[in-house]
Amino acid sequence: MSTPKNRYIQTVSNFSLKRLFQQLISKVREFFLKAASLAVSDSKSSLDFTQNRWHSLVVENLTAAVIVQDLGGKVLFCNGYAEVLTGYSKREIYGTTNDFLHFIIPYEEDRKRYQRGKTFAKAGEPFQVRYRIKHKAGVEIWAESRTVPIQNKQGEVEAVLSIIFDITASVRYQQLVEEKNRDLYDFAYMVSHDLRSPLSTLKGMVEIINSSKENVEEVKEAVMYISKATQRLDTLISRILDYAKVSSASS
């Protein structure tokens, strides 16, 4: 269930990621234009080119996978974090003849989103997409990718640059919040139902007392029911307080 708090968390998360994407892309895009251009004409010279100081300081220190692919999906370049994110070595990543990212995305629905985004990139449009990837060790990871086209001097798209973040912790947190909200909704529904019963009893007994002031026995019986209903309310309130304490401790 989506709540204002969840939407706020998601909005802040998306806004922060977008700003980070923009900053990263503005710093490394020019660098990769050169790297990708070299890679298209001569993959060996491209790999040699990436050993310079720019590569060491900017690319290899990013806590995000940076992957450059040709239009067929073959990886022309990847940084060290791509190995961390996927579990595959650079040799394995470069050795994949088909689209490497398509290979590590296990779910068809995610593959369709990824392929739809690549269509935009090939047409010269940047895209952002969220999907799950399967780490080599078998672990499922949520990733968010910002991909931009790399164009040559003639304006033709030669390759695509993707910056991919591991957002598993953020997704898991959102799922936990949603689960807590569902539990809270179920609890509130149960409490409202349980509270209504003793309140109805109290209301009915008060009406009996008002209409039977001279009948002592009926008044005594009504008072007894009021006492029982009050005890039920007290028990419910105690349970609510206990639930609040447990929820506070677990969070």
User: In this predicted structure, what is the pLDDT of residue 20?
Assistant: 54
User: In this predicted structure, what is the pLDDT of residue 7?
Assistant: 45
Structural domain boundaries of the chain? 4-166, 173-250
| DSSP designation for 65 | E
Q: How big is the chain, counted in residues? A: 251
For residue 76, what are the β-bridge partners?
Answer: none
| DSSP designation for 159 | E
User: In this predicted structure, what is the pLDDT of residue 104?
Assistant: 92
**Range with the largest mean pLDDT of 12-16, 51-55, 108-112:** 108-112
The strands making up 65-70's β-sheet, listed across from edge to edge, are 75-78, 65-70, 157-166, 140-151, 127-134
For residue 143, what are the β-bridge partners?
Answer: 131, 166
- The neighbour count for residue 234, using CB atoms within 10 Å, is 11
Question: Per-residue b/e over 150-170, b at no fewer than 16 CB within 10 Å?
Answer: beeeeeeebbbbbbbbbbeeb
Tokens of 13: 């998360």
Half-sphere exposure of 139 (CA within 13 A, CB side): 12
CA distance 87 to 206: 71
Domain 173-250 has CATH 3.90.1310.10: no
- The neighbour count for residue 117, using CB atoms within 10 Å, is 21
CA distance 33 to 148: 11
Could you report the per-residue pLDDT of 83-127, keeping only the tens digit for each?
A: 999 999 999 999 888 889 888 999 999 999 988 888 888 888 888
User: In this predicted structure, what is the pLDDT of residue 130?
Assistant: 92
User: In this predicted structure, what is the pLDDT of residue 19?
Assistant: 57
CA distance 5 to 178: 10
Specify burial of residue 214 (Cβ count, 10 A radius: 0-12, 13-18, 19+).
exposed
Of 47, 19, 46, 40, give the one whose Cα is nearest residue 150.
40
- Specify the pTM: 0.60
Q: Kindly report the CA angle at 72 between 154 and 18, in degrees rounded to 5?
A: 75
Tell me how far CA of residue 199 lies from CA of 40, 74, 177, 205, 220, in angstroms.
77, 69, 32, 10, 18
Is residue 149 within 8 Å of residue 126, measured between CB atoms?
yes
Q: Kindly report the CA angle at 180 between 177 and 184, in degrees rounded to 5?
A: 135
State the CATH class of domain 4-166: alpha beta
Could you report the per-residue pLDDT of 192-244, keeping only the tens digit for each?
A: 777 777 777 777 777 777 776 667 777 777 777 777 777 777 777 777 777 76
Could you report the per-residue pLDDT of 147-166, keeping only the tens digit for each?
A: 888 888 888 898 999 999 99
CA distance 141 to 131: 9
